[in-house]
Structure 1
Amino acid sequence: MRLSTLVCNLKSQSLVSVLVVLLIATGLGAFGTTYSVYHIMSSNPMSDVQHDTRYVTIDDWSPDKDLQWTPPLLSYQDGTALLQFLGASKGALTYDSKLVAQHPNSSYVYELTTRATTPDFFSIFHTQFKYGAPWSFEEDVNRTAVVVLSSHANKVLFDSSDSVGQLVYLDGKVYTVVGVLTEFEMTPKVYDLHVDPYAATEDLYIPFHTAIEHDVLPHGRLLGWRDEPMSGFRDVLTTSMIWLQLWVQFDSKQDMEAFNTALAGYTEQQSLKGRMLRGHKQFELLSSAQWLERNQVVNGDSKLLLMLAIVFLVICLVCVSALLFASYATRRRALSVYRALGASKRYVSSMLFAELTLLALGGCVLGMLLTALGLSYMEKLYGSSYQQVASLDLTPIVIAAVCCLFGVILASVLPISQCCHSKSIYIRR
């Protein structure tokens, strides 16, 4: 059968054809938008390393508070102490901040998001360098003023050129650029889920101990429950205020067990000093999947919206099937002419399936366009923090479109079968 014949048949049923395309497109568009967001929100960007990478928590919170809640952060004294137990294993002690950056030869200043961390951060979270390399442990311990730039920060400050060895002012202090990252994205941002799990990765990365030396204030949470006098940032370092995150990565199970034993001994020692007063599990080593679940990155609302989108898509397919029933009922005379001219039932059913396939393909293409528009609107509605989530991931959308295509064809089996086997389709000679 010719394509022109199929197009002419669809034009003769133009209203039904348009309605079928619109039903498929709206159902797929709603499902595609919702599923794209859910797919990205529920993904684990560290799934390939979750067996040897752990997030460390210590429960040094008030015994009068909810025992079901575990403090998500560490104090300075705990975080720095635990780094000493790692041995050959890797550890990233980190917190987020914001710094004002300026090129020495420019009058323009930029407020850039900043992460203070130890050098293992870059290997634990699989960052790639376009220029240079991370700083060394010696540079971190010696409080050397060095910085790693993101691709965006390098573009803003140095017009994307190789800036290794160049100087940059951060909050008025001189830092030397030692590395520039390639595009680095992580959604959700597993290593920091406390403020905005879907925020973009940071613009600047500076050594942890250098940040402490330069009084770089934390931009995220600073929590505490004890009555401890503080007059400035330096006082925070000697209190039990929690604000740091520690990720550790082990080369073997033996290394993990050794760290676990050392951590148990540390918490027991601290409990003798009047800390760890809640009397239940005092520390945990959580995988990235467990950490995402603990922070409820994918909430119940997202799951409910996904279920509603699936129901809406099914309803659209049911409506398509009902339209086909009505359409084929009005076409029986025309189909009888085909049979009178010698067309077999197989030919007639194949023609109807071919027509429907064209409509389904058109609906799927339009549905994917609606998905892209929906995600674009969501990005504008929720701002830049939603940009990482409201991005078009073609893989799940294509899978959804293929499933929708087969769903439409499956929904048409019954009306086409009844139409081809109806007695009224025959013309008696």
Structure 2
Amino acid sequence: MFGYYLQLAVRSFARNKALTALMVLTIAVGIGATMTTLALYFVLSGDPIPGKSGQLFYPQLEPRSLGKDATLDADPLKQMSRYDAEELLRQKRGDRQAVMSAGSVTVMPAGDAAQPFRVRARYTSADFFPMFEVPLAAGNAWSGNDDEARSLVAVIDRKLAGRLFGSANPIGRNLALPQGTFRIIGLLGDFKPTPRFYDLTSQRYGGDEQVVLPFSSSRALKLDTQGNMQCWAASDDGEGNRSLNAPCAWLQYWVELDTPQKARDYLKYLADYSDTQRANGRFERPTNVRLHDVMGWLDFNRIVPNDVRLQMWLAF
């Protein structure tokens, strides 16, 4: 019976060859478009750090002053001021915590013929490496003591190591910048989380960072930073918008909490911290704090564009 119906179908197709070819092409294009958009959706919405995304949290505070355009029920700022980030880092209420910012530095190779060149950098604190499971191909990361001492130490990637030293071991060598000379203590392995969840303010996908430096050292040397900044008043301390007391949010801050109870306690801690800062006259708006885990933070930032979702449904 199946063979009979198959013969009928073949005869019908043979009578309308052009229509048959058009139907087959349409179905093929539809299936191809559906699989492509579905794969794109899963890449954009995937868990960038499986097994740990539920333990890493992004705190938000509301340090802005009250103004005529203030919306009191709005979400708090997506980034943190330097004062608050360094204070939370000092108080160490999480299992681990890391402050960070994107930046760029001018590398000055050895030799008179070599020309200086710019590379992307990440300024952060010591817990960045264990928190985000950053692999090291050689050497080691710096410690909390290095953060406090503002040590001139660096971790670089293989591409920069090859450009500076060829096949030679870079550990223990110097990384010369116009602002100072850093000692290379570590070599990055493959670390390309997709999306780049720990900093969604610049290049959410891709954007290799070839140098990782202590945040404290970067501020001591006033190294260039990159990324978004939001200020709600003028800085009056003479050091610019990235000074300790500047009324500007430009830093990313992450905390590691390995149990749901610790997450609840930390959210309470953020509320208490906000209350204290308002009592001290720094915060003016009502307490408004948030604590997102990795996937919640990606969803909050709508990491998957609406047009990608629309394209997927249209393809189906």
TM range (shorter): 0.7 to 0.9
Which residue in 2 is equivalent to 1:294? 300
Aligned residue pairs, count = 301
Give the CA deviation at 1:134: 0.6
- Provide TM-score, normalisation by structure 2: 0.85
CA contact (8 A) 2:231 2:249 kept: yes
Closer/same/farther in 2, CA of residues 142 and 165 from structure 1, 3 Å limit = same
Which residue in 2 is equivalent to 1:116? 123
From 273, 278, 283, the counterpart of 1:276:
283
The structure where helix makes up a greater share of residues is: 1
Instruction: Choose 1 or 2 for highest CA Rg.
Output: 1
- Provide TM-score, normalisation by structure 1: 0.64
Q: Percent identity?
A: 26
Matched letter for residue 300 of structure 1: N
2:103 alignment partner, SS class: strand
Which residue in 2 is equivalent to 1:166? 173
Closer/same/farther in 2, CA of residues 172 and 48 from structure 1, 3 Å limit = same
Give the CA deviation at 1:83: 1.1
2:184 alignment partner, SS class: strand
* Unpaired stretches in structure 2, ≥5 consecutive residues: 1-9
Tell me the alpha carbon deviations over residues 28-57 of structure 1, each in whole angstroms, 9 at most, x when there is no partner.
Answer: 332233223222111221342132211111
* Unpaired stretches in structure 1, ≥5 consecutive residues: 1-8, 311-429
Matched letter for residue 284 of structure 1: R
Show the 5 A alignment for 1:5-404. Answer: 19=22, 22-63=25-66, 64-66=69-71, 67-86=73-92, 89-105=95-111, 107-159=114-166, 161-229=168-236, 231-233=238-240, 236-253=243-260, 255-279=262-286, 281-310=287-316
1:157 alignment partner, SS class: helix
Closer/same/farther in 2, CA of residues 18 and 176 from structure 1, 3 Å limit = farther
Give the CA deviation at 1:72: 0.7
Q: Tell me how far apart the structure 1 counterparts of residues 26 and 145 of structure 2 sit (CA, whole Å).
A: 63
Q: Tell me how far apart the structure 1 counterparts of residues 162 and 226 of structure 2 sit (CA, whole Å).
A: 24
CA contact (8 A) 1:82 1:263 kept: no
Q: Tell me how far apart the structure 1 counterparts of residues 18 and 168 of structure 2 sit (CA, whole Å).
A: 58
1:84 alignment partner, SS class: helix
Give the CA deviation at 1:208: 0.9
Matched letter for residue 302 of structure 1: V
Which residue in 1 is equivalent to 2:6? none
Give the CA deviation at 1:159: 2.9
1:177 alignment partner, SS class: strand
Give the CA deviation at 1:77: 0.9
Over the residues paired in the alignment, what is the CA RMSD in angstroms?
A: 2.6
Q: Tell me how far apart the structure 2 counterparts of residues 287 and 298 of structure 1 sit (CA, whole Å).
A: 17
2:59 alignment partner, SS class: strand
1:210 alignment partner, SS class: helix
1:113 alignment partner, SS class: strand
CA contact (8 A) 1:186 1:201 kept: no
1:22 alignment partner, SS class: helix
Give the CA deviation at 1:300: 1.6
The structure where strand makes up a greater share of residues is: 2
